[in-house]
Structures are given as C-alpha cells and as structure tokens.
Amino acid sequence: MGTFSMRYLHSSPRCREQYLDANQETFNKVVLNEYAKDKIVLVDFYADWCNPCKIISPILEKLAGNATIKTSSGRSLDLVTIDTDKEFELAQKYHIRSLPTVMAFKDGKLVDHFIGALNEASIKKFIEQV
C-alpha cells in the first residue's frame, strides 16, 4: 500500500480534505469510489520539474482549503495531487499530455478540466463553476 499525505481542513462544517502525492489506490478510493459520493474532487496532475506546476499547486491547496469558495452545486470540495513521474500509468489513463492539468470529478465522473498555469482568480472561477 502506497503512502500519501492527507490534510484535513476544518474551516467549515464540511471537512475539506487534501490528498497530496496520491497513488493509484488512493485515487481510485477518493476520486472514483466510496469517498467520491456527493463531492467535487479536483485532481492536480503535476511533476516536480514543471515550473508552471510549482505556481498553481499552492494556489489549488489554498483555494481548496477556503470554505468560503463554493462550487456551483454547493458540494464539498477535496483536492488530490498526482505526481505524473511516480504515477505514470494513471497519467496515461487520463491522457495527460501537458502539465499542469487539473481535472474536476463529480460523483466519480470527470466533468471538467483545464491545462496550464491559470492565475488565482481564474482557478477560483473554475472551482465555482464546477
């Protein structure tokens, strides 16, 4: 079983969770299966060598942890980060060709995505529209 870092953000009644450097097993559990029900999960596909990734990853962590930012459905928002160098098969499965790529899953289904380093306001707007 792989290891991952999980942060609980208790700034609202709905606990927002962040699964940093998740592996395939964690991805399946959190994004696709049992934990995915009634949640929006942002998945940040990144690599350590990717400079634009270094820009947006802290922004995603900040926004995902901000309880005042609401998705269009008002659902809980979690964040999963995937290092594409470590989880190459997962990156291939989702056809990751450019980094960073951020995907939004609702109830375990991919509903939207963006590619590239957006600014904080654009990422916030993306979250609010999911």
| 44 contacts 77 by C-beta, under 8 angstroms | no
Residue 15 is among the residues annotated as catalytic for this protein: no
- DSSP 8-state symbol, 74: -
Span 73-92, average pLDDT: 94
User: What pLDDT score does 129 carry?
Assistant: 94
Question: 76: pLDDT confidence band, cut at 50, 70 and 90?
Answer: confident
Q: What pLDDT digit, counting tens, does each position of 25-48 carry?
A: 999 999 998 778 888 999 999 999
- Read off the CATH number of the domain in which 30 is found: 3.40.30.10
Number of domains within the chain: 1
In a domain, 45, yes or no: yes
The model carries a pTM of 0.86
Does the N-terminal peptide bond of residue 58 adopt cis geometry, omega within 30 degrees of 0? no
Question: 67: pLDDT confidence band, cut at 50, 70 and 90?
Answer: confident
In a domain, 7, yes or no: no
Catalytic residue among 41, 43, 53, 60: 53
In a domain, 124, yes or no: yes
Write the CA distances from 62 to 65, 79, 91, 92, 123, integer angstroms.
5, 10, 24, 27, 11
Q: Domain of 72?
A: 18-129
Catalytic residue among 36, 40, 50, 64: 50
User: In what order do the strands lie in the sheet containing 101-106?
Assistant: 5-9, 16-20, 76-83, 39-46, 101-106, 109-115
User: What pLDDT score does 5 carry?
Assistant: 46
Sign of CA dihedral 48, 120, 31, 109: negative
